[in-house]
Amino acid sequence: MGLKIGDIVARISYGSDILFKVSGIRNEGGKRIVTLKGICYRLEADAPETDLTKQSDNYIREYNARVGNMVRKKVNYPNRAPSRSRQKKNPSYST
């Protein structure tokens, strides 16, 4: 395949759900093992080179926009837990 450090890839075995930047490559037992760092998520992983697929610039832009939109939605409309004053008290603990 010929991946190099800095390439943007996805893991085939995970349905190419998260994009990673190649941060290292090592040989282990005759296989090339690639160290990956998430480009939008704080995540580090290892994968055999054969499980990776290099991503196009267009797809990377679309992915970044999609993840950015999800983050903006979470920031603007967070799922808030009820405040303590609105939570029902458990009667078995009352005195």
Which of 10, 40, 31, 30 shows the shortest CA–CA distance to 22? 10
**Tokens (6 digits) for 19:** 């994009």
Q: Tens digits of per-residue pLDDT, 39-93?
A: 988 999 999 999 999 999 999 999 999 988 888 887 877 666 555 655 555 556 5
**Tokens (6 digits) for 65:** 């926009």
pLDDT confidence tier of residue 19, bands split at 50, 70 and 90: very high
pLDDT at 74: 79
pLDDT at 35: 98
The C-alpha atoms of residue 36 and residue 45 are separated, in whole angstroms, by 5
Number of C-beta neighbours around residue 60 at 10 A: 14
Domains of the chain: 8-76 (2.30.30)
DSSP per-residue codes, 1-53: ----TT-EEEEGGGTT-SEEEEEEEEEETTEEEEEEEESSSS-EEEEEGGGEE
pLDDT at 3: 95
Q: Report pTM.
A: 0.73
